[in-house]
Amino acid sequence: MRTKVMGRVVVKAKIESLRDLYEADQGRSKSEEVRTVEIEDALVDTGATMLSMPKSLIKRLGLRKFTSRRMRTARGSAMFHIYDTVRLTIQGRDCRIDVAVVPDDCPVLIGQVALELLDFVVDPKGQRLIGNPEHGGEFMYDMF
């Protein structure tokens, strides 16, 4: 029997190499060659800023490191590598976002920037993501 943990939200996420998508769009490769990972249990982490993925998944997508940034963690501050932009799709909504690396024993983490870009908010009691109620649940960006 699986016990629910209050506030823990996991979602199905599709993550695609933006570089591969561009190459397919330009006709330099086939759409079926776009490197993609589908995650059944990506953890929504409102304490995290970015989309973070284990190194093994980053390698499967062929992402390239382009910088490093200092980040705060529960263990203190540390340098993390930042990789190419991906297309992240959750519940039919998609956005483009850079990827931070986490160790292979960590889950994929969906942070606040991704939630903002996808216009989702967390329903902790229902343990799910919902469309932003301020926008009537409809996918919408604020421009002010």
- pLDDT tier at 4, thresholds 50, 70, 90: low
Contacts of 40 (CB under 8 A, 6+ apart): 12
The answer to whether residue 5 is domain-embedded is no
pLDDT of residue 115: 97
What is the span of the domain harbouring residue 19? 10-123
The answer to whether residue 134 is domain-embedded is no
Domain of 24, CATH number, reads 2.40.70.10
Handedness of CA 96, 102, 104, 110 (dihedral sign): negative
Q: Where are the alpha helices (DSSP H) in 1-144?
A: 18-25, 55-60, 112-118
The answer to whether residue 130 is domain-embedded is no
The answer to whether residue 64 is domain-embedded is yes
The answer to whether residue 132 is domain-embedded is no
Q: Which two tokens stand for residue 65?
A: 């490191």
Between residues 14 and 1, which one has the greater pLDDT?
14
Between residues 7 and 29, which one has the greater pLDDT?
29
pLDDT of residue 5: 54
Identify the CA nearest to 101 among candidates 116, 117, 76, 79. 79
The answer to whether the pTM exceeds 0.85 is yes
